Structure 1
Amino acid sequence: MRKTSLALAVAAGTLGLTLSHVANAEFIKDSKASIEARNFYFNSDFREGAGQSKQEEWAQGFLLRMESGYTEGTVGFGVDALATFGFKLDSGDGTAGSGLLVPDGSGGSQDNSGGLGLTAKAKAGESVLKVGSLQLKNQAIGSSDSRLLPQVFRGANLVSKDIAGLTLDLGYLDEVNNRNSSDYQDMRLNTFTNSGITVKGGSSANHSNQFVFAGGSYKLTDTLTGGYYYSNLEDMYKQHSFNLVHVLPIADKQSLKSDLRYARSTDDGLSNVDNKAFGAMFTYALSGHSLGLGYQKMSGDTGFAYIGDSVDPFLVNYVQIGNFAAKDETSWQARYDFNFGSVGIPGLTFMTRYLTGDNIDRPNNADGKEWERNMDIAYVIQEGSLKNLGVRWRNATMRNNFGRDVDQNRLIVSYTLPLF
């Protein structure tokens, strides 16, 4: 009897291991990993004599991304990981503060920093739930990746595409690890210059450990997509965001894209947020050329509301330096892009744009004005031993009548190596 029980136990165990191996086959098969080396030089040259004359830093970063497949079954399970490490190559003599490196508390930057983010995930049909470290990009919130290391949030995110044409997106966040930070912390409301946004209790009360959002997009026709999101940074603000995107095919390699955005933001107890933000971007594309015209208008008692410390807001005129979202500000943008792939040089792209904003409600009752010019040229090697090696130069000039004028250059050399 004992031998029979033992045999059954061994058989059951062997079968369990076999089934486990089969069930996890897709978990391994669909896994992928890559390592990115990112070399970043940042220079902001302030054009007036007062204060810090420039921010200039140079750093090297490494990002290891790993994504598993899903176990087989009605509900599949998996895990993702993001390991980051950055170290200083050059900084000092009062030039810190670029956002590339973690501040050292004495006006300089730490020599190195890093982190490890893990994300558990589950998939049923076309619905995916992720819990842990998250990078998000939607109408409610956008994780920034415009420095040495990316911004990462901690929380849960459910994305469902089970209904054809419909994407549902739900999320809960409680902490953020910013681009120039080595640990997680509470989120805060952005009280940028001339926003008119204040928090009861001042900066010490400006923190929240709960941000929730719910929304999604629906493909109304083959050329028209509508989106809506509700979001709430607890105690700070509530926001309803609407988006309508239409792409009109005109002829072969020719189209007109219309991108309309509207957001209504109100306070949630501890702030004075009251803003209506309207934005429109129209882009005409012909072969490798794209010509865009943008308009953005702020109204209400404050400027646009969004999470501070480097979150990318969902605004058509949010660019390299400015957001053009101050109280009562009206701004325009003209943009030109060219993809050299259309003339036989794949991987080479160019962009330039000019923005101007005015009617800003300043505290002294004077109208604020600002303008910004950007240029971006990038090349990614498409084949050969140096495939995926990219070089990007970003240049910007900002001028205004209420703050610091700045000329800025960023040079980024990156290389992504697929591991498996």
Structure 2
Amino acid sequence: MLKTPIARGVALATLGATLAIPTMAQAAFIEDSKAGLELRNFYFNRDFRQENAPQSKAEEWAQGFILRAESGYTEGTVGFGVDAIGLLGVKLDSGPGRTGSSLLPKGASGAPDDYSSLGLAAKAKVSKTVLKVGAIEPKNIAISRSDSRLLPQTFKGAQVVSNEIDGLTIDAGYLTEQNNRDSSNYEDLTAILNGANTGGEEIGDFMFAGASYKLLKNLTGSYFYSNLEEAYKQHTFNLVHIQPLGGDQSLKTDLRYTRSKDDGASTVDNRAFGAMMTYSVSGHSFGLGYQEMNGDTGYAYVGGATDPYLVNYVMVSADFAEPNEKSWQARYDYNFAAMGIPGLSLMARYLTGDDFGADGKGYEWERDTDIAYVFQGGALKNLGIKWRNATYRSNATDINENRLIVSYTIPLM
């Protein structure tokens, strides 16, 4: 069944780890193992409309293979296992003047024909607490790996997640390197400071620790502390409340606040507040969001296209998080299952931000539309197709963008 080179590579790596575990403890290790291969075909077109743009467009087409294999755990009080992720990107179309889509590595002579990487993580489990060391994909309000291109971003480090108490999740970790979405190797961490990606030897490791707790039946609170050495220290708070309104109606409130301060020689000083309220009824969802930056600098977060925890983090502009920027978002979603077409969905949103820049006259706006369909049956069951369209305008940049993504996951075991 494992016919592709990347599938064979991950399978052999997992088998090697299996052989290192005593035979008498392998039963659950093998029985609870699972693996899947995601095929992701991605077309990206970003059209730069402003005068004096460095290039007229970034346009690339590529095929991605994402293989994830997870073993079970050995028997005993402490169970041991191994996870593996194999990534392969293949160029289908590109050119020296059209690179920069983040689908493929960007070289002096254009994009290479392919790129790949293999990540392994050892894991140990005690009761409901799991420790992973190696290639990991953290996703919480302090650090969240990006998966919005051909291949996902991964990190090298350690992470422990504990669910010993009902309703409480404790999450802590230490990251030393990152493998970006368009890269085949791990590199030092970088930081996004005032909208620019800053890296090099001055940026150190990243640590985070926090918890999420179900305070009430419909209310969840989260707090995380994080520190990117020589860049910033951060406290992040989140409250999410979902209020049923009778029938199929509900009102969701999502409140976020982050305090970022300097570390080392940096000058980070930012207070970020965000709120999103979403009313849902009969397949329709209507959302209204507000985000405000205060302090001497913009929002700070780990670089390499990591997803910042902001309500107005979107497709092209990314974060609407310049110093002192205030931004609004209006969003509409519709699930066509409500009218008898399961698998079809629509999202449309508009965002606008202003009051930033040296003169306080900076402005930007973005309009996004997503249309997605997942086949529900037949030979194409679970095949997903998504078209993403965006228009972005600001004082300095005018961008039109389209993305077409076709994905299909094959269960291997």
| TM-score calculated relative to the size of structure 1 | 0.90
CA distance in structure 1 between the partners assigned to 2:163 and 2:304 by the alignment: 31
Compute the displacement of 1:205 (Å): 5.1
> Paired residue for 2:30?
28
Q: Sort the Cα spacing of 1:206 and 1:90 in 2 relative to 1 into closer, same or farther, 3 A.
A: farther
Compute the displacement of 1:231 (Å): 0.2
Q: After superposition, what is the alpha-carbon deviation per residue over 1:195-245, rounded to whole angstroms, capped at 9, x for unaligned? A: 7x9x7xxx655532x100000101001100100000000111000000000
Alignment of 1:39-118 (within 5 A): 39-50=41-52, 51-104=54-107, 106=108, 108-118=110-120
Q: Which amino acid in the other structure matches residue 349 of structure 2? A: R
Compute the displacement of 1:383 (Å): 2.2
Q: Sort the Cα spacing of 1:396 and 1:259 in 2 relative to 1 into closer, same or farther, 3 A.
A: same
> Paired residue for 1:119?
121
> Paired residue for 1:419?
412
The alignment status of 1:338 with 2:340, answered yes or no, reads no
Q: Which amino acid in the other structure matches residue 151 of structure 2? A: L
Q: After superposition, what is the alpha-carbon deviation per residue over 1:133-161, rounded to whole angstroms, capped at 9, x for unaligned? A: 01111110110011111100000000000
Match of 2:187 among 185, 188, 213: 185
CA distance in structure 1 between the partners assigned to 2:118 and 2:200 by the alignment: 28
Compute the displacement of 1:30 (Å): 1.1
Alignment of 1:319-338 (within 5 A): 319-322=314-317, 323-338=319-334
Q: After superposition, what is the alpha-carbon deviation per residue over 1:366-391, rounded to whole angstroms, capped at 9, x for unaligned? A: 41000000001111112222222111
Q: Which amino acid in the other structure matches residue 347 of structure 1? A: G
Is contact 2:96-2:111 (8 Å) kept? no
1:261 counterpart SS class? strand
Q: Which amino acid in the other structure matches residue 28 of structure 1? A: I
Q: Which amino acid in the other structure matches residue 172 of structure 2? A: L
CA distance in structure 1 between the partners assigned to 2:312 and 2:34 by the alignment: 35
CA distance in structure 1 between the partners assigned to 2:63 and 2:287 by the alignment: 34
> Paired residue for 1:269?
264
2:376 counterpart SS class? coil
State the number of aligned residues. 392
Mean alpha-carbon deviation: is it higher for 323-332 or for 379-388?
Answer: 379-388
The alignment status of 1:298 with 2:300, answered yes or no, reads no
Q: After superposition, what is the alpha-carbon deviation per residue over 1:244-280, rounded to whole angstroms, capped at 9, x for unaligned? A: 0000011121100000000000010121100000000
Q: Sort the Cα spacing of 1:112 and 1:352 in 2 relative to 1 into closer, same or farther, 3 A.
A: same
Is contact 2:256-2:274 (8 Å) kept? yes
CA distance in structure 2 between the partners assigned to 1:107 and 1:394 by the alignment: 29
Alignment of 1:219-298 (within 5 A): 219-298=214-293
1:190 counterpart SS class? strand
Compute the displacement of 1:24 (Å): 2.0
Alignment of 1:10-25 (within 5 A): 23-25=25-27
CA distance in structure 2 between the partners assigned to 1:93 and 1:268 by the alignment: 39
Is contact 1:38-1:414 (8 Å) kept? yes
Match of 2:175 among 168, 173, 176: 173
Unaligned runs of 5+ in 1: 1-16
CA distance in structure 1 between the partners assigned to 2:306 and 2:75 by the alignment: 36
CA distance in structure 2 between the partners assigned to 1:418 and 1:140 by the alignment: 31
1:27 counterpart SS class? helix
> Paired residue for 1:387?
381
Q: Which amino acid in the other structure matches residue 150 of structure 1? A: P
Q: Sequence identity of aligned pairs in percent?
A: 61
CA distance in structure 2 between the partners assigned to 1:128 and 1:214 by the alignment: 15
Q: Which amino acid in the other structure matches residue 168 of structure 2? A: L
Q: Which amino acid in the other structure matches residue 47 of structure 1? A: R
CA distance in structure 1 between the partners assigned to 2:282 and 2:79 by the alignment: 42
> Paired residue for 1:348?
344
Q: After superposition, what is the alpha-carbon deviation per residue over 1:338-359, rounded to whole angstroms, capped at 9, x for unaligned? A: 1112222111111000000010
User: Once superposed, which parts of structure 1, at least 4 consecutive aligned residues long, lie more than 6 Å away?
Assistant: none
CA distance in structure 2 between the partners assigned to 1:25 and 1:275 by the alignment: 51
CA distance in structure 1 between the partners assigned to 2:206 and 2:76 by the alignment: 32
CA distance in structure 2 between the partners assigned to 1:22 and 1:342 by the alignment: 52
2:191 counterpart SS class? coil
Q: Sort the Cα spacing of 1:205 and 1:117 in 2 relative to 1 into closer, same or farther, 3 A.
A: closer
| TM-score calculated relative to the size of structure 2 | 0.92
CA distance in structure 1 between the partners assigned to 2:217 and 2:306 by the alignment: 31
Compute the displacement of 1:110 (Å): 1.5
Is contact 1:265-1:274 (8 Å) kept? yes
Match of 2:209 among 214, 231, 245: 214
Is contact 1:47-1:404 (8 Å) kept? yes
Compute the displacement of 1:21 (Å): 5.1
CA distance in structure 2 between the partners assigned to 1:374 and 1:206 by the alignment: 36
CA distance in structure 1 between the partners assigned to 2:316 and 2:290 by the alignment: 17
Is contact 2:210-2:222 (8 Å) kept? yes
Match of 2:362 among 355, 358, 368: 368
Is contact 1:333-1:356 (8 Å) kept? yes
